[in-house]
Structure 1
Amino acid sequence: MKVRLVNNGVFTLLEEFTMPLTPPESGFYWIDADTEDLEELQPLFGLHELAVEDCLTEEEQRPKIELYDHQYFIVINSIRYDDEEIFLRALNIFLGRNYIITVTKQKINEIRAIKPVLWEEEVNAPDRFLYHLVDLVVDNYFTVADRIEAKIEKLEEEILLHTKKSHLNEIISLRSEILWLKKALGPQKDLIFTLNKKELRLINDQLQKYFSDIYENTIKISETFETFRDLMGNLREAYQMSLENRTNEVMRVFTAITTIFMPLTFVTGFYGMNFDYIPLLHSPMGAALVSMGMALLGGGMFYYFRKRGWL
């Protein structure tokens, strides 16, 4: 657990402190905690037992906001895209009048990225801290969306150039992740809508328009992933068509080869009959002439097929 005093964007790490913390004359406290620290923090800050239980549960939490008398409990999902897989990390936030507590189970990039933003913006209130943190979380969805779009474009190019059976598994896997993420974006959008529209006494009214901008970005993200879902459907159709075209191409080649060898089979069958009087049967040049004729016949048919575009 790290306790920092934030005053106009300047961080002061409190190496030694006593709980409960005395409200600062200027600025606010940022407590960056793990789930193990909640046992100590709960009685000191009056954290609601249901909120603490949500932080500790192993189940995936839906983004939400719970309003209590002296604090708000907010759950928002941070997104990561590692090793071609999408991960959602729950970011639990307790917002008070002069403090903000962030509780995470895993490392979240936005926690590290918030520091230079707060310094640059000279943040001096926990609700402003909340705004910038939520803004970073939402902006990261655009970064992941760009990577997913690049993945879709690369997959489409590979399918069109050289279709493989493994491409179908990639399409199904990526489509499932997109649908899962699209479903998770619904509650997150509702959360930010609440921060945007509902009157919240711990959040300054002047921040409403800023949360409105984040809400618009959330809508854009939701629409982007809706587009991705449609693209994955088109990609699957392209995969099926590519397989069908490949099969038709193979069948066309086999049909042409069979057609070329049909007259050659007739010739060899004709000369294989047990008759004494067959043209060129007893001629010294018979075998050479028949072989040459067969070669000319096969070559002529191959040239004709190529000229007509059948091969």
Structure 2
Amino acid sequence: MIKRNKKGKKQGLPPGTLVYSGEKAAFETQAYIIEFNEQNFETREITTEKCDVAPHFEQSVRWIRIIGLKNIDLISQVLNLFEIHPLVMEDIFATSQRSKYEDYRTYIYTVLKNIYWDAPSNEITYDQVSLILGKNYVLSFEEREGNLFLPILERISLPKGKVRSSLADYLFYCLIDITIDTYFSIIDIIESSIESLEDPVIDDPKPVLLQSIYRLKRDVNDFRKSIWPLREVINKIQREASPLFSSGLEIYFRDIYDHIFRLSDLIDNQRDIIFGMFDLYLSSVSNKMNDIMKVLTIISTIFIPLSFMSGFYGMNFKYMPELDWKPSYPILIGVMVIVVGLMIYYFKRKNFFSK
């Protein structure tokens, strides 16, 4: 089952009003600035009292990482320092946004979805990730604390590496790339769920199984809706050729585009399998019902001649010579047994007992 963010909470408010509109409770805000160049690396915390985002090193890249959207004052203070448009600020807090790309000339705003498996609730969970790329800086906004960007932090902390020797646009690419790479783990989880349902659908089709298939179908459809807009996002990055992107970076975004196409193919294939499981479930239920009806039909067919004989000799006529014979009862029982035996033999010859 997927947690869905509710739209609302902002009805009647003017554009640019900063209100966190996520369904989940807002996570306590943690704000850090990770500044680095090829020789230096530094991490420091940002607070409302000490909102220092100015560069400390020459020709350095600043990554302002904000986790949690509860402290609106601190976040708006940081955004104002970078002269971010109020509508972009509003979208950062409106966490029901679809994935998108917007070019504001001096900076680029991108929305992604952090999709992960929440083991305690046994659900696929969606969080919004907002990224802003400017000249020598990247701003990232995450709804809650997680491990999504930890590999990037580890790569930055190493004295040697491409991230440390590159510009802010490469960091921006890395954040998008690692977010999309995590989607493959969701594909694997969905694949395992499909495999766990395939055999029971054939062997033991129960109503609870139909509920599981429907829930999986809904999850796959929602996952597909989150992946599909990413093609447009990466297309725009490649097509519009913003001056914020250095030459040679297009090959990396081409690789991301290839990943998105692969994800789309995989999810479409899984979607087709799930639709096929619906048909298979209905066929299995129908076959099971046919087996039950076949057994009932055989039993009814066997008892038809027996009912006829017992009904025939149960008539209240006075002159029925067989009723006065002493061996008539065992003879009638013997005839009934012979008739049942002959019918069972006939059904076996016709393979009516085979499934």
TM-score w.r.t. the length of structure 2 is: 0.78
| Aligned positions, number | 309
Would you say the 8 A contact 2:35–2:55 is kept in 1?
A: no
Query: Equivalent residues in 2 for 1:7-22 (5 A)?
Result: 7-8=37-38, 12-15=42-45, 19-22=52-55
Q: The residue matched to 1:263 in structure 2 has which SS?
A: helix
Structure 1 CA distance for aligned equivalents of residues 245 and 258 of structure 2: 19
**Equivalent in 141, 149, 161 of residue 103 of structure 1:** 141
Structure 2 CA distance for aligned equivalents of residues 32 and 167 of structure 1: 43
Cα deviation per residue 1:177-235 (whole Å; 9 max; x = unaligned)? 32333233232111112223331222222111011011011111112222223222222
Query: Equivalent residues in 2 for 1:80-99 (5 A)?
Result: 80-82=116-118, 85-99=123-137
Q: Match for 2:142: what amino acid?
A: T
More helix by share: 1
Q: Match for 1:221: what amino acid?
A: L
**Equivalent in 12, 32, 53 of residue 2 of structure 1:** 32
Q: Does 1:65 align with 2:101?
A: yes
**Equivalent in 58, 62, 65 of residue 32 of structure 1:** 65
**Equivalent in 178, 181, 188 of residue 146 of structure 1:** 188
In structure 2, the partner of 1:249 is 291
Would you say the 8 A contact 1:92–1:103 is kept in 2?
A: yes
Structure 1 CA distance for aligned equivalents of residues 145 and 255 of structure 2: 27
Moved more, 252-261 or 185-194: 185-194
Would you say the 8 A contact 2:149–2:178 is kept in 1?
A: no
Q: Match for 2:86: what amino acid?
A: E
In structure 2, the partner of 1:123 is 163
**Equivalent in 289, 300, 309 of residue 342 of structure 2:** 300
In structure 2, the partner of 1:74 is 110
**Equivalent in 75, 78, 82 of residue 41 of structure 1:** 78
Q: The residue matched to 2:248 in structure 1 has which SS?
A: helix
Q: Match for 1:13: what amino acid?
A: T
CA RMSD, aligned part only? 2.6
TM-superposed deviation, 1:306: 3.0
Structure 2 CA distance for aligned equivalents of residues 61 and 128 of structure 1: 24
**Equivalent in 87, 100, 112 of residue 50 of structure 1:** 87
TM-superposed deviation, 1:289: 4.2
Structure 2: gaps (5+ residues): 1-30
Gap change, CA 1:254 and 1:8, over 3 Å in 2:
farther
TM-superposed deviation, 1:255: 0.7
TM-superposed deviation, 1:18: 5.4
Gap change, CA 1:122 and 1:11, over 3 Å in 2:
farther
TM-superposed deviation, 1:137: 1.4
Percent of aligned pairs with the same amino acid: 28
Gap change, CA 1:304 and 1:164, over 3 Å in 2:
same
**Equivalent in 228, 231, 240 of residue 186 of structure 1:** 228
Structure 2 CA distance for aligned equivalents of residues 10 and 278 of structure 1: 118
Structure 1 CA distance for aligned equivalents of residues 147 and 319 of structure 2: 92
TM-superposed deviation, 1:110: 1.7
In structure 2, the partner of 1:279 is 322
Structure 1 CA distance for aligned equivalents of residues 173 and 292 of structure 2: 59
Would you say the 8 A contact 1:78–1:108 is kept in 2?
A: no
Q: Does 1:205 align with 2:247?
A: yes
TM-score w.r.t. the length of structure 1 is: 0.88
Structure 1: gaps (5+ residues): none
Structure 1 CA distance for aligned equivalents of residues 214 and 338 of structure 2: 51
Gap change, CA 1:15 and 1:117, over 3 Å in 2:
closer
Structure 1 CA distance for aligned equivalents of residues 41 and 289 of structure 2: 65
Cα deviation per residue 1:245-299 (whole Å; 9 max; x = unaligned)? 122111111111100111111222233233454437542x544443344234324
Structure 1 CA distance for aligned equivalents of residues 214 and 312 of structure 2: 55
Would you say the 8 A contact 1:30–1:101 is kept in 2?
A: yes
In structure 1, the partner of 2:22 is none
Cα deviation per residue 1:151-202 (whole Å; 9 max; x = unaligned)? 2232222111111122333333322332333233232111112223331222
Structure 2 CA distance for aligned equivalents of residues 11 and 75 of structure 1: 27
